[in-house]
Amino acid sequence: MNFLTGPVTISLSILTMAEPSIYDEIELEDLTYHPATTLYTYPCPCGDQFEITLQDLRDGEDIAVCPSCSLTIRVIFEPGDLPAEEPPMEDSKGLAAVTA
């Protein structure tokens, strides 16, 4: 039988597998909101933009990713900071409009 008799070293890569490496933590108010696409963006050092959707934030996601590099940021926010959900549009007969 082989027992460990000295200190045990754990690889950091094992400990960080569940959580991506976060480049920075940014307040929601510092991101730019694009209502037409419901997308929040923030400049990335690589020249592109970190992106996260309003729906992702509503679903509890807080990690914005850059589509051009491996960097990510954590978005700091409270659910009350998000824009209010708009009710479904109704037609002239008072029925909710359905789009295909």
Q: pLDDT by residue (tens digit) across 10-39?
A: 444 444 445 568 999 999 999 999 999 999
Return d(Cα 25, Cα 9) in angstroms, integer.
Answer: 29
**What is the pTM for the complete model shown?**
0.68
Task: Kindly report, residue by residue over 33-47, the tens digit of the pLDDT.
Answer: 999 999 999 999 999
| pLDDT tops 70 at residue 91 | no
> With contact defined as beta carbons under 8 Å apart, do 71 and 44 qualify?
yes
- With bands split at pLDDT 50, 70 and 90, how would you rate the model's confidence at 68? very high
| Residue 86 pLDDT level (bands cut at 50, 70, 90) | confident
